[in-house]
Amino acid sequence: MTDHAILVLRLAAPLQSWGGPSHYNRRETRPQPTKSGVLGLLAAAQGRAREASITDLVDLRLAVRVDQPGTLLRDYHTYSDYRGTPLPSAKVNTKGVQTKTSPAKYTGVTQRFYLQDAVFVAALRGPVTLLERLEHAVRHPVYPLSLGRRSCPPTGPVSLGLQGDIELADALTSVPWQASAHRRSQVQGTEVTLEVTIEDPAGDELALDVPDTYDLKTGTAFGRRSVRHQWVTIPTGKQATAAADGTSPSTDPGHDPFALLGW
């Protein structure tokens, strides 16, 4: 009996935001879930304290399938101190106290970026006992689950269950298409081709999204991991229809330049 398994998650919501290397008043999102964000969701489900070790979670290998890429949303707004006092600056004095802006600035601008109506399937490979605990925690979370930010709760069940010890790409190929009904109606073929990002020591690209801690006092330092990109083809669930001449149509949808935009 193998001692490894794969946990499959469905990450879908009206809004998601998977933070990249952005700071201060402009917070961007990456186009796919990050390892830091997915592990943070699992840690919250288990009720781990922010300063608790996440070494066992970091060792899990992650793969993500883009079932519906969604669209980018920019949330632009201003902010000020309700007391009418100048806003603090990014500087601190010799006593470590944050100073006020000079000249005084009473209104600031902040921008947050989100993915709208995106759907992803994430697969994590690791020890069976750990994944069994995580799967139970996702179904019975201690803390509310969120997709990148607290303002982004998931819709529908997050856990799609456990699979045996197979390749991550095979696990993602076996999971039915999770796109919305609207997206499904836009695809006429019997198959759809989806982008997949797989954590692989032999991968040809580096992703800077491996957290060392979630402790707010020390902050998070991000490490690198190797990933590779590929495409998988899965059934849409639609039946092939006969062409006007009575022949069977091709199931190959051909090249769609707008597929990654969700059009």
For 24-28, 115-119, 150-154, 177-181, which range has the lowest pLDDT when averaged over its residues? Answer: 24-28
Average pLDDT over residues 15-37: 86
Domain count across the chain: 1
Judge whether 232 lies within some domain: yes
C-alpha 162/C-alpha 9 separation (Å) is: 9
Domain of 30 in residue numbering reads as: 4-72+116-261
Judge whether 8 lies within some domain: yes
Residues 6+ apart with CB under 8 A from 30: 18, 19, 20, 209
Give the tens place of pLDDT for each residue, 212-259: 999 988 888 899 999 999 999 999 988 876 555 555 555 555 566 666
Q: Cis ω on the peptide bond leading into residue 103 (within 30° of 0)?
A: yes
Q: How confident is residue 101, by pLDDT bands cut at 50, 70 and 90? A: confident
Give the tens place of pLDDT for each residue, 128-166: 999 999 999 999 999 999 999 999 999 989 999 999 999
Q: Report pLDDT for 102.
A: 82
Sequence length of the chain is 263
Q: How far is CA 161 from CA 35, 137, 247, in A?
A: 19, 12, 40
Q: pLDDT at residue 40 above 70?
A: yes
Contact present, 192 and 233 (Cβ < 8 Å): yes
10 Å CB burial of residue 31 (0-12, 13-18, 19+) is middle
Average pLDDT over residues 11-27: 84
The count of other CB atoms within 10 Å of the CB of residue 47 is 11
Question: Helix or strand or coil: residue 35?
Answer: helix
The count of other CB atoms within 10 Å of the CB of residue 146 is 18
Q: Report pLDDT for 138.
A: 97
Residues 6+ apart with CB under 8 A from 247: none
Q: pLDDT at residue 44 above 60?
A: yes
Q: How confident is residue 82, by pLDDT bands cut at 50, 70 and 90? A: confident
Q: Report pLDDT for 194.
A: 96
Judge whether 81 lies within some domain: no
Taking the model in full, what pTM does it have?
0.84
Judge whether 90 lies within some domain: no
Q: Report pLDDT for 195.
A: 96
Average pLDDT in the chain: 89
Q: Token digits for 171? A: 């696990």
Q: pLDDT at residue 26 above 60?
A: yes
How many degrees, rounded to 5, is the angle at CA 171 between CA 236 and CA 58? 130
Judge whether 80 lies within some domain: no
Judge whether 219 lies within some domain: yes
Q: Token digits for 127? A: 């020890």
Judge whether 107 lies within some domain: no
Judge whether 82 lies within some domain: no
Q: What is the CATH number of the domain that holds 121?
A: 3.30.70.2660
